[in-house]
Amino acid sequence: MIGWSEQHKAIFDMVRRFIDVEIAPKREEFEHGDTPPYDVLRKMMDTFGLREMAKSRFAAQIEKEKAGKSASESRQSADAAAMQMIPIIELSRHSPGMVTALGVSIGLTASAIMKKGTIAQKERWAPDLLTLDKVGAWAITEPGSGSDAFGGMRASARRDGDGYILNGNKTFITNGPYADTIVFICKLDNGAPMKDRPILTFVLERGTKGLTQSKPLRKMGMHSSPTGELFLDDVRVGREYLLGESEDRGSRAGAKSTFTAERTGVAAMALGIVEQCLQKSIEYAKTRVAFGKPIGDFQLIQLKIAKMQVARMNIQNLVFRVIELAGEGKTMDIAEASACKLYCAGAAVEVAMEAVQLFGGNGYMAEYQVEQLARDAKVLQIYGGTDEIQVSQIARSLLA
């Protein structure tokens, strides 16, 4: 893929019009009020037929699986992958937080269930997540373990008759405060040394006895994406809540394929952020006058704009590669996905901070939006694996 088709451009326009009416005028409310993002996201999905599309794709996939074909046989075309990417890119121009909330629910949480669940589990939990009728959360991080998610993990499952007793605390969980369905990753308490304990993945439902979901945590940016803590105190679940209903299915490899999807997803978010910063910077450079001329006449301002354009082109090409691979039923391997995330996250932060600089004092003010995008962009270097973890992943694969 080397460019957007006319049809893609028409969809960009339609999504832009929706955002201009439904989201941009209420930015303050979503950013600084207590309005969770889910209703407007449902409306957006309805407007573009995405909920219906999700339902029919799910039905087709389950039918194939019931007929004995594997889930991976139902591949989407590059065009379908592009159609899914467009709302993410466009929404990221205004509210990367909403993309995070949406992506964790219909991406990470539903995908984990679709990858590892039994057919009955998929039918029970996935359709409502894929349509955002229910909000999903995917919980691996703990107060004592983030980058070293498995090494430091304390959350546990103890066998109890035909079920399990779950305990542990999770933190920084996107959608945690509002989630109806939670994918909870923990270690089987089988008496083995901690490092050797098998990883198990459970699905928890809101309101389960012993499960507490905190209020949203205060944070630097991504305010339209609620982030919270989960506390599990002797939560008893039956075996049907264990994904795959087998202790062999919750492997570290399963969580790693989720990391890959998360990392390539960052490219689309970074593209939206960079495009918005670039567009706003160009408009501002043409109209803001200093020393008797538009600031766009100064070479130091031109350098900022030129560098933003280089970043935009590079990120867009990575997005095209992700789309093209999806069309071939492939994804980047973990090292390439890490390189993609490392570059895109860093470029988004640099571009957004340069946009703040280009806007001068106005850049520091909320009214001009680039300060929001700078705060929002920063987390791209932290979640889904920090920059430092991406570096070690890339280097490990090259030096192996």
Ligand X SMILES: Cc1cc2nc3c(=O)[nH]c(=O)nc-3n(C[C@H](O)[C@H](O)[C@H](O)COP(=O)(O)OP(=O)(O)OC[C@H]3O[C@@H](n4cnc5c(N)ncnc54)[C@H](O)[C@@H]3O)c2cc1C
Q: Which residues bind ligand X (CB under 6 A)?
A: 104, 138-141, 146-147, 172-174, 219, 222, 227, 379, 382-383, 385-386, 388-389, 392
DSSP state of 145: B
Q: Which is nearer to ligand X, 219 or 288 (CB)?
A: 219
Q: Which is nearer to ligand X, 118 or 397 (CB)?
A: 397
Q: Closest distance between ligand X and the C-beta of residue 107, in Å?
A: 10
Which residue number places its CB atom closest to ligand X?
Answer: 146
CA angle 157, 160, 164 (to 5 degrees): 35
Q: Which is nearer to ligand X, 147 or 287 (CB)?
A: 147
Residues in the chain: 400
Known catalytic residue at 262: yes
With CA atoms as reference, report the closest residue to 92 among 284, 241, 256, 224: 224
Residue type, 66: K
Q: Closest distance between ligand X and the C-beta of residue 62, in Å?
A: 26
Q: Closest distance between ligand X and the C-beta of residue 101, in Å?
A: 10
Q: How far apart are CA 366 and CA 379, in angstroms?
A: 18
Q: What residues have CB less than 8 Å from 223, skipping those under 6 apart? A: 30, 31, 32, 97
Q: How far apart are CA 326 and CA 82, in angstroms?
A: 9
Q: Closest distance between ligand X and the C-beta of residue 36, in Å?
A: 15
Question: Which entry of 31, 142, 262, 350 is annotated as an active-site residue?
Answer: 262
Q: Which is nearer to ligand X, 83 or 203 (CB)?
A: 203
Residue type, 318: L
Q: Which is nearer to ligand X, 84 or 141 (CB)?
A: 141
Left, alpha or beta for 207 (phi > 0: left; psi -120 to 50: alpha)?
left
Q: Closest distance between ligand X and the C-beta of residue 171, in Å?
A: 7
Element (H, E) at 3: none
Active-site residues, by number, are 262
